[in-house]
Amino acid sequence: MQDNNSFIQENTGKITAKPKLGKLLPDYIDVEKWAMQSKEWQGVFDICQFDRLAEFLVPVEEQQDKPHSEDVQPLCFSVTRVGGVYWLKFSVQARLSVQCQRCLQPMALSLAKESKLALLENKEQASLLSEDDDWLLLEDAAEAVGKEIRLPICRLIEDELLLEIPLAPKHKLNDEHCVAVDVLSDDEPDIDETSTQEGNPFAVLATLKTQLQK
């Protein structure tokens, strides 16, 4: 199945169609329907879909009107049902432009995340998992609309990307792109000091990470 904004691969099979740009990442998916059809979505998504993530992005010099270094990012995800348990697998890459907390100038931040998450219909299903498996209760994350179990896939992936952002991103020491007056200054603020600066969006990142990890 393919529309103007995305393309979906059923089970296996090579995709050759080139995705068109736009708002490609769906806000919600029907977990049961996707699992029954073993759907796999591949495409690109626009960072601007993620309101919370956008707060940590800054324009790059050559694109002052854009809050990130690349408009779209590659992503694939699938939903299956194995052993009576729904499984969400996804792989995402993102190249963002964030503010270096040393020189306060834009810096490139590359994120890559692969995840396998069990979507449990009840807590008893946790006994079917291994100790290393990550899981999420559908009643906490999804909503029932008629017979559909609607999972906010867009928000879920945004959560995962937020968890990957460092509390205080910085250029590497002696990086030629860092315009700090004294890169090796002994009085350089540490993560805790930086995270409490008024007006700094990273001041709330630690709290947000704690909330997402609950």
> pLDDT tens for residues 153-179?
989 988 888 888 888 898 887 777 787
Q: What share of the chain is helix, strand, coil (3-state, %, to 5)?
A: 25, 35, 45
Q: State yes or no: pLDDT of 196 exceeds 50.
A: no
pLDDT at 57 exceeding the cut of 70:
yes
Q: What is the pLDDT of residue 80?
A: 95
- pLDDT value of residue 214: 59
Q: Hey, what amino acid is at 182?
A: D
pLDDT band with cut points at 50, 70 and 90 for residue 25? confident
What is the structure's pLDDT at 183?
44
Extents of the domains making up the chain: 7-213
Asked if residues 77 and 157 have their Cβ atoms less than 8 Å apart, the reply is yes
β-strands 85-99, 106-120: how paired?
antiparallel
pLDDT of residue 47: 78
pLDDT tens, position by position, 134-152: 999 999 989 888 888 999 9
Measure the CA–CA gap between 117 and 133, rounded to whole angstroms. Answer: 7
117: pLDDT confidence band, cut at 50, 70 and 90? very high
Distance CA 80, CA 138 (A): 14
Q: What percent of the chain has pLDDT over 70?
A: 66
Q: Which pLDDT value is given to residue 194? A: 46
| pTM exceeds 0.95 for this model | no
